[in-house]
Each structure stands twice: as structure tokens, then as C-alpha cells.
């Protein structure tokens, strides 16, 4: 058989096979069942899980707010590239925090269902600022709020009975909400997040102090010079 006829024969077989699959495509269903794996290794209790899910949205809201700040200072009518670069970096950091929390939850066997309502369309707190100082002050308030939320998670995961909402202590999906000190998560949040939060707050406080002094001494030119410093 010549190569040409062989190719035609192969194409004919493929066409027949494809048509058969296509005609019965609507009847095809995935019948794979999930493996029967013990859930004894999934030890996070509901109040702690809820606090972590809320924190993911807190981090994403912070990221969106920083993104709005970066966009504001990138406008041609504002034109503060140093501030824009700083806030773009901050937006990426907060997004990375949310990703780390999601990865941790998956590592602990959580977020295997009800994933659709995990991210609740976060929107920025504001979209315009009067000056670099006002934006930095809001950034400090935002970081302080994020820090307090993380501290609350630590408290809840060390002792779920401290959950503020009584509904948070109700068992769900067979999980118990009795006292359970989640040492691993508390250590992870303290070392991976709180240390960075406190250092970030101190950095913002110093930035506000320096910029405020420069603007009181030199007016608008002080903000212009500080913006150049941020690009250095």
C-alpha cells in the first residue's frame, strides 16, 4: 500500500472513531469516585478555618487597595512614579500573602469544597487620595488592621472557644470546636506573617514622619523630592 493510501485509511478510521464519540458525547459521564481516605489527619477546627478564610479576603482587600493607590499615583495628573512603584510592590505582597494562606489551608486538607465563596470580590477601600502622606497614613491603618486580624486568628486557633461569634463554635461536617491548640498554624502565622507585619508598620511610620517633615519645610516640592527618593 502506498503512503498516500495508508494516510487516507488512517484518516478514515479517525473520522469514524470521532463521529462515534461525538454522537454519544452527551451520554458520557465521569464515574470516577474519590478515594476513600481517612479524615483523621484533617485536624483544623471550624472557628479556626473560618478565621483563616476571612483572612484570605482581608489580604485580597488590602491588595486591591494598594493597587488602587498605585493606579492613582500613576495618573498623568498626579505623576508620582515613586509612590506608584511602592504601592504596586505592596499590592503584590498582599496578594502573595493570600496565596500563602490558601496553600497552607490546602496543605492541612481544607478548602476541598465550598471553594466558590472563598474569594468574595474584594474592592479597594478608597480610590483617590489628596497626597502621598494621606495614602501612607491609610496604608499604615490598613497594615495595622491586617495585623490585628492575624492576632485574632492566633487567639482563635490557640483556643477556639474565644471565637466572638457563637455560631463559629458550632460543629460542622463532623468537626469538633472544642479547645484545640493548633500549634503548627500559630507558629506559622507568628513567624511568617506577624514578623513581617510589625516591620512593615514601622517602615510606614518612618516614611510618614520623614515625608511630613519634608512637606512642612518645603511644601509640594517636599513630596516631589520624596517621590524621587522612593525610586532610588
222 three-state secondary structure: helix
Contacts by 209-214 with C-beta closer than 8 Å and gap 24+?
211/132, 211/133, 211/136, 212/133
CA distances from 45 to 161, 165, 185 (A): 11, 15, 12
Burial letters 199-229, b for 16+ CB under 10 A, else e: ebbeebeebbeebbebbeeeeeebbbebbee
Distance, in Å, from the CA atom of 55 to the CA atom of 146, rounded to the nearest integer, reads 8
CA distances from 210 to 128, 223, 229 (A): 22, 10, 11
Distance, in Å, from the CA atom of 139 to the CA atom of 87, rounded to the nearest integer, reads 9
User: Per the annotation, does 86 bind a ligand?
Assistant: no
User: Per the annotation, does 94 bind a ligand?
Assistant: yes
Contact partners, residue 141, CB within 8 Å, separation at least 6: none
User: Per the annotation, does 143 bind a ligand?
Assistant: yes
Query: Which residues sit in the known binding site?
Result: 59, 94, 97, 143, 197
Binding-site residues for Fe cation, please? 59, 94, 97, 143, 197
Amino acid at each position: 500500500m502506498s503512503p498516500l493510501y495508508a494516510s487516507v485509511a488512517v484518516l478514515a478510521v479517525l473520522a469514524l472513531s470521532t463521529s462515534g464519540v461525538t454522537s454519544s458525547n452527551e451520554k458520557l459521564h465521569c464515574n470516577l469516585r474519590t478515594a476513600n481516605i481517612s479524615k483523621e489527619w484533617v485536624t483544623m477546627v471550624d472557628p479556626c478555618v473560618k478565621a483563616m478564610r476571612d483572612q484570605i479576603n482581608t489580604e485580597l482587600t488590602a491588595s486591591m487597595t494598594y493597587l488602587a493607590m498605585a493606579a492613582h499615583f500613576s495618573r498623568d495628573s498626579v505623576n508620582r512614579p515613586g509612590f506608584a512603584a511602592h504601592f504596586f510592590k505592596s499590592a503584590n505582597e498582599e496578594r502573595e500573602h493570600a496565596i500563602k494562606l490558601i496553600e497552607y489551608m490546602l496543605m492541612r486538607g481544607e478548602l476541598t469544597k465550598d471553594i466558590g465563596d472563598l474569594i468574595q470580590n474584594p474592592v479597594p477601600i478608597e480610590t483617590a487620595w489628596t497626597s502621598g502622606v494621606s495614602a501612607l497614613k491609610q496604608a499604615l491603618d490598613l497594615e495595622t488592621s491586617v495585623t490585628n486580624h492575624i492576632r485574632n486568628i492566633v487567639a482563635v486557633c490557640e483556643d477556639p472557644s474565644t471565637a466572638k461569634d457563637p455560631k463559629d463554635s458550632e460543629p460542622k461536617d463532623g468537626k469538633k470546636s472544642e479547645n484545640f491548640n493548633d500549634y503548627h498554624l500559630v507558629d506559622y502565622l507568628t513567624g511568617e506573617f506577624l514578623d513581617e507585619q510589625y516591620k512593615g508598620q514601622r517602615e510606614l511610620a518612618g516614611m510618614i514622619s520623614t515625608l511630613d517633615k519634608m512637606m512642612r519645610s518645603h511644601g509640594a516640592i517636599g513630596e516631589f523630592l520624596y517621590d524621587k527618593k522612593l525610586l532610588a
